[in-house]
Amino acid sequence: MDKIVGDYLGKSIISIEQFGRPDIEILFEEANRLQTVTERGLCYPYQDGRILTNLFYESSTRTSSSFAAAMQRLGGGVIPINDVTYSSVSKGENLADTVRTLAQFSDAIVLRHPEQGSAQIAAEYSDKPIINGGDGIGEHPTQALLDLYTIQREQGTLDNLRVALVGDLKHGRTVHSLAQLLMGYGATLTYVAPEGFEMPSELVKRVAEARCEQVVVSDITDAVVDQDVIYVTRVQAERMGGRSDLHGRNALKKLQDGYRITPDVMEHAPETSTLMHPLPRVGEIDMAVDKDPRAAYFRQVQNGLYIRMALLNLVLGKVIDRV
């Protein structure tokens, strides 16, 4: 896995581990520029003639459509493969052949796949950059980058923030990537998870090694009182595999009710806090909270467009430098 170290060109984006702070600054600068340009109603064909393949073995609304929108706004084309029937790729074989095929006629491939490590396997076989759009319970680096970008825009800084990560911290790949990213900015992380859904110990160890404080709180109202950012996630029902006790709506609802964000809970959160969610939500943030100005989840979606446009420009390079 190649580190970025100031140069994104031609590199696969697999994990947050590839990024240093200067790399993130480069990305955010490009995203800011593209946002300004796009909001002025302009669209420069930086990716004219290029093709991105969206290869999705798991369902997606935001990641696939925002990558498609990003590529098209930059003048490129998209091959959308959204309904791949999942067959075993434990040896990497099927996936390897698929990405090698798609790499023949596209300039980059966004891959979402149910197996952890699949993006790395794909990158080993593809001679075009692979962008990890979520690999099982592993990582979701582009989501974490847009989350961090949102935090910067909402909070005005990234340093020494208090961030609560709430929900299914065991299976949630977005929190796995975001926690690693926040480690580089001296964040204090507060974890609120139902029993059995805690942050993996390996990640807790890594965060501790980065000398970031970690706190575990069980009551959501207690947890929000001094947070700058409250980042909520859903229970990943599709990853429950063997746990038949957790199948069914009632079992899931019971888990979510333990940390449900309501207007009452938000009364305890600071006026200056930011409420985030990678979406989709399935009840863990009450819709009555949406009109609260601290609710940033749809601004988060919008920011994802600019981060993904920026990433495509940096990884693929621009066919024109400036119009």
Residue 128 near residue 10 (C-beta atoms within 8 A):
no
CA-based radius of gyration for the chain: 19
Nearest approach in angstroms of CB 54 to ligand NCD is 13
- Whose CB is nearest to ligand NCD? 278
| Token representation of residue 190 | 């507060």
Residue 189 near residue 215 (C-beta atoms within 8 A):
yes
Q: β-strands 77-81, 108-113: how paired?
A: unpaired
CB nearer ligand NCD, residue 141 or residue 278: 278
Residues that bind ligand NCD (CB under 6 A): 62-63, 134, 140, 143, 173-174, 233-234, 278-279
CB nearer ligand NCD, residue 59 or residue 272: 59
Nearest approach in angstroms of CB 147 to ligand NCD is 9
Cis peptide leading into residue 80 (ω within 30°): no
Nearest approach in angstroms of CB 140 to ligand NCD is 5
CB nearer ligand NCD, residue 76 or residue 278: 278
d(Cα 282, Cα 253) in Å, to the nearest integer? 9
Instruction: For residue 49, give the amino acid letter.
Output: G
Nearest approach in angstroms of CB 131 to ligand NCD is 13
CB nearer ligand NCD, residue 120 or residue 233: 233
Give start and end residues of each alpha helix (H) in the chain.
Answer: 21-39, 62-73, 93-102, 118-125, 141-155, 173-182, 201-209, 220-224, 249-257, 263-266, 297-316
Q: Residue 36: phi, psi to the nearest 5?
A: -60, -45
CB nearer ligand NCD, residue 129 or residue 133: 133
Closest C-alpha to 129, from 213, 12, 27: 12
Residue 200 near residue 179 (C-beta atoms within 8 A):
no
Nearest approach in angstroms of CB 303 to ligand NCD is 12
Nearest approach in angstroms of CB 167 to ligand NCD is 9
Cis peptide leading into residue 280 (ω within 30°): yes
Beta strands per DSSP E along the chain: 51-56, 77-81, 108-113, 130-135, 162-166, 188-192, 214-216, 229-232, 274-276
Nearest approach in angstroms of CB 322 to ligand NCD is 32
CB nearer ligand NCD, residue 50 or residue 176: 176
